[in-house]
């Protein structure tokens, strides 16, 4: 049978899709990760914003355009949040939520809605496969933080951690198959609390893994001397720190129920730069959170400049029913668009300044694809780099020579 396994969400969803794909291939199915003609579709949906949920619904229609007789199986955060929005669609055969996703690899005879209770312990039945130059390894699921705008704790449940031995075993298998592993989770800052360990111990256990190791999104409060020391002792750590910010104003951070001030956040960034001078510091930002004033937004713009982020992902606030922020007074849509645009302008400038600071330096680049006359990939700091005379899926040294938009053009080093 030809099956499409399609991810609409975050890196955690991607890891789960990779695991479902692996099992289906072992069973002899032809599996694609692109939306194309197939007998059956498995969709791992997202509910982080209204737009993500709309796209998840729209994806069902797209599948049926390819094959109006196909069976569609839906799982993930959007179907956990509201299963009815999927099951009422033609040909949607089976809907589950965020629990028991691996059963989809075996459930072709199942029909209806079966949104089980969200697991309270880590579901350790995933095992990723490699389709890309980098592999994702999920170490934690769920979240206890309840940021006031976020639906994730409601659809993914409480924080739960994967055992260190299980993570190490998967990384040992993957180091032979891939050049880069990304450690991911919904809130890795909470890693280990439920199983009597912590994230530093996990990183220490990975010290002999012989390939690049990158971390996905982190909460700034996770950054400590102990963690940075453990990271610097890895064989090939990628010094990119995606420290989720969301607002650069203390009063907005409080309303968001984020557990840090801008001063504490800045201290953590400075600590990162003490250990990794040229680290890429990237973040997420929400513009026009309910009640955000012009002055509070200006504070955010100034904070972006102060931190000098190498990349900022900017999102307009999206109201999620059932969250605390959904009851707050919203900001007008035009103001929201205008704030996103202004934040984007500042973010482009800080990114350009960061790229400028890297010119003349030698970067270690994992080449991922050919693009015209160039080969493109990412440095350890997560700078996109283009170079001539390279090979896909190889790590090479590149001297940064010039900047083209958001990319460094380099030449192969000695």
Identified binder of ligand SF4 from the candidate list 76, 83, 97, 153, rule CB under 6 A: 153
By the 8 A CB rule, do 219 and 189 touch?
yes
Listed ranges 61-69, 77-85, 108-116, 141-149: which one lies at the site for ligand SF4 (CB under 6 A): 141-149
Asked if 93 contacts 111 with a C-beta cutoff of 8 angstroms, the reply is yes
Secondary structure of residue 374 in the 3-state scheme: strand
Residue numbers 282-321 binding ligand SF4 by CB under 6 A: none
CB of 55 to ligand SF4, least distance (A): 19
Give the closest residue to 36 by CA, choosing from 18, 20, 59, 58: 59
Residue 84 tokens, joined: 């009815």
Residues of this chain, 168-207, that bind ligand SF4 according to CB under 6 A: 186-187
- Residue number, 105 or 188, with CB nearest to ligand SF4: 188
# chain residues binding ligand SF4, by CB under 6 A:
9
Q: How many CB atoms lie within 10 A of CB 263?
A: 8
Helices 294-307 and 262-275 pack at an angle, to 10 degrees, of 10
Count other Cβ atoms within 10 Å, centred on residue 82.
16
| Cβ 240 to ligand SF4 shortest distance, Å | 18
Is the four-CA dihedral 181, 44, 217, 127 of positive or negative sign?
negative
Q: How many CB atoms lie within 10 A of CB 225?
A: 11
Is 145 one of the binding residues for ligand SF4 (CB under 6 A)?
A: yes
Of 76, 160, 75, 171, nearest to 124 (Cα)? Answer: 160
Q: How far is the CB of 220 from ligand SF4 (least distance, A)?
A: 11
Closest distance of CB 152 from ligand SF4, Å: 4
Write the DSSP assignment of 143-188 as a string of letters.
Answer: -S---TT--HHHHH-S-EE--HHHHHHHHHHHTTT-SEEEEEES-G
d(CA 259, CA 150): 14
Q: Which is nearer to ligand SF4, 66 or 146 (CB)?
A: 146
Burial class (CB in 10 A: 0-12, 13-18, 19+), 231: buried
**Between residues 49 and 129, which has the closer beta carbon with respect to ligand SF4?**
49
C-beta closer to ligand SF4: residue 76 or 153: 153
Determine which residue in the list 46, 78, 105, 147 makes contact with ligand SF4, applying CB under 6 A: 147
Give the interface segment with ligand SF4, choosing from 130-138, 150-158, 306-314, 350-358 (CB under 6 A): 150-158
| Smallest separation, CB 206 to ligand SF4 (Å) | 23
The two tokens of residue 250 are 């203390």
Rounding to the nearest 10 degrees, give the CA dihedral for residues 137, 142, 144, 146.
Answer: 110
Stretch that binds ligand SF4, among 10-18, 39-47, 149-157, 357-365 (CB under 6 A): 149-157
The one among 143, 222, 383, 387 contacting ligand SF4 by CB under 6 A = 143
In the complex, the smallest distance separating the C-beta of residue 10 from ligand SF4, rounded to whole angstroms, is 9
Task: Report the nearest approach of ligand SF4 to the CB of residue 287 (Å).
Answer: 15
Calpha distance 381→207 (Å, rounded): 19
Q: Does 385 interact with ligand SF4 (rule: CB under 6 A)?
A: no
- The correct pick among 36, 50, 62, 146 for binding ligand SF4 (CB under 6 A) is 146
Q: Which is nearer to ligand SF4, 152 or 269 (CB)?
A: 152
- According to DSSP, residue 366 is labeled E
- Distance in Å, CB of 86 to ligand SF4, minimum: 22
CA–CA distance, 292 with 313 (Å, rounded to integer): 19
Q: Which is nearer to ligand SF4, 180 or 219 (CB)?
A: 219
Binding site for ligand SF4 (CB under 6 A): 143, 145-147, 150, 152-153, 186-187
């Amino acid at each position: 049978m030809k099956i499409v396994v399609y991810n609409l969400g975050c890196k955690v969803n991607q890891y789960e899709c990779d695991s479902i794909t692996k099992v289906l291939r072992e069973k002899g199915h032809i599996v694609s990760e692109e939306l194309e003609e197939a007998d059956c579709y498995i969709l791992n949906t997202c509910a982080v914003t209204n737009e993500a949920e709309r796209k998840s619904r729209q994806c069902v229609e797209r599948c049926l355009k390819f094959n109006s007789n196909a069976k569609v199986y839906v799982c993930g955060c959007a179907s956990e949040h509201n299963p009815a929005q999927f099951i009422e669609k033609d040909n949607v055969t089976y809907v589950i939520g965020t629990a028991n996703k691996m059963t989809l690899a075996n459930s072709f005879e199942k029909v209806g809605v079966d949104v089980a209770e969200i697991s309270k312990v880590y579901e350790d039945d995933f095992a990723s496969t490699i389709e890309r130059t980098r592999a994702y390894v999920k170490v934690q699921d769920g979240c206890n933080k309840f940021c006031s705008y976020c639906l994730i704790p409601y659809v993914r449940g409480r924080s739960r951690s994967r055992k260190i031995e299980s993570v190490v075993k998967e990384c040992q298998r993957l180091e032979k198959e891939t050049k880069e592993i990304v450690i991911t989770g919904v809130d890795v800052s909470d890693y280990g609390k439920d199983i009597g360990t912590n994230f530093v111990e996990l990183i220490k256990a990975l010290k002999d893994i012989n390939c690049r190791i990158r971390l996905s999104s982190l909460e700034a409060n996770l950054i400590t001397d102990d963690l940075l020391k453990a990271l610097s002792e890895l064989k090939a750590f990628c010094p990119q720190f995606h420290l989720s910010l969301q607002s650069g104003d203390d009063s907005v951070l409080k309303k968001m129920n984020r557990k840090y001030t801008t001063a504490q956040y800045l201290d953590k960034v400075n600590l990162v730069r003490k250990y990794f001078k040229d680290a890429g510091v990237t973040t997420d930002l929400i513009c026009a959170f309910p009640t955000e004033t012009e002055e509070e937004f200006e504070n955010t713009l100034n904070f972006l400049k102060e931190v000098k982020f190498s990349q900022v992902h900017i999102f307009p606030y999206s109201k999620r029913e059932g969250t605390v922020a959904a009851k707050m007074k919203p900001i007008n849509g035009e103001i929201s668009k205008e704030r996103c645009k202004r934040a984007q302008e500042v973010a482009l400038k800080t990114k350009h300044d960061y790229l400028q600071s890297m010119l003349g330096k030698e970067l270690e680049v994992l080449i991922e694809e050919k693009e015209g006359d160039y080969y493109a990939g990412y440095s350890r700091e997560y700078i996109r780099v283009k170079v001539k005379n390279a090979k896909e899926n190889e790590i090479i040294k590149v001297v940064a020579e010039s900047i083209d938009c958001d990319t460094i053009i380099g030449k192969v080093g000695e």
